[in-house]
Structure 1
Amino acid sequence: MIRLAEKSDEPDIRNCAERAYARYVPIIGRKPAPMIADFTTQIAAGMVYVATDENATFLGFIVFYPKDGYFLLENVAVLPSAAGRGVGKMLISFCEKAARQHGVAAVHLYTNAKMKDNLAMYSRLGYVKVAQRTEEGFNRVYFEKNLT
């Protein structure tokens, strides 16, 4: 099940981000941007959704919002204990469906160039690499998916 995040979800969301991205800290040399996000503000703005199992156990989350005629998928993370069960794909599909429902024809996202698993996953899901640049000290790869 996917639902809009509530204020009480913030500790689970933060914990998930910490655990999901921890393996990248040594590779990147510092915490990636999703680990230091202001989840409290994002939840209050209605930008965060959580995935739970049939027992309402937290599995992961996604952050996205409309921007300049597209949806920006800013963060998606799954607890390591739930990895490999399709939770991340389900969350991304949820974002794409929400974009279509809002009449938005594309989803944009970026990830760190050193997150090789993410690069491969987004390509498999139909996202196309459109740019790569350094911002805020991070080497980011930008992807887009046309939903029409």
Structure 2
Amino acid sequence: MSCSAHPHVEHHGTALVTEARGVLTDAGEQWTDMRARVFDALANRDAPASAYDIAETLSASEGRRVAANSVYRILDLFVRTNLANRIESANAYLVNSHPGCRHDCIFLICDHCGKAEHVDDDRLTHSLREAADKAGFSDVRPVVELRGICAACK
């Protein structure tokens, strides 16, 4: 679903988990205990996390080793179903706080603290798609990453 025609709702806490579970099950997938734990670990991070970061967090909290490969598969599912976004340059993931809306990704990434913010600008990404179309490309998926210093680190 595209949200360019209406403002989307940013979900947090239990509302985010409820929305994510609904989006995943609507996509024909199951909301398993392991998927819930991975989602929770990702949602509770202040900065983007790698599969290894999430596996380490889960391993510590569960007292048993959680394989990064298992986490990767879940994170890939989350990206496919719009529950998370992948920051390409860092091979890291960020929870999508409005999983019911599909937008192209624009990330603002802080070079000091590593925090990333996902913003939506459908006009900008539409222009990128048009440029790609003129160059003969199809099925373009714009992912824009802007690096700089966040307001908290200034």
Q: TM-score, normalised by structure 1?
A: 0.31
Q: Which has the larger radius of gyration?
A: 2
Greater share of strand: 1
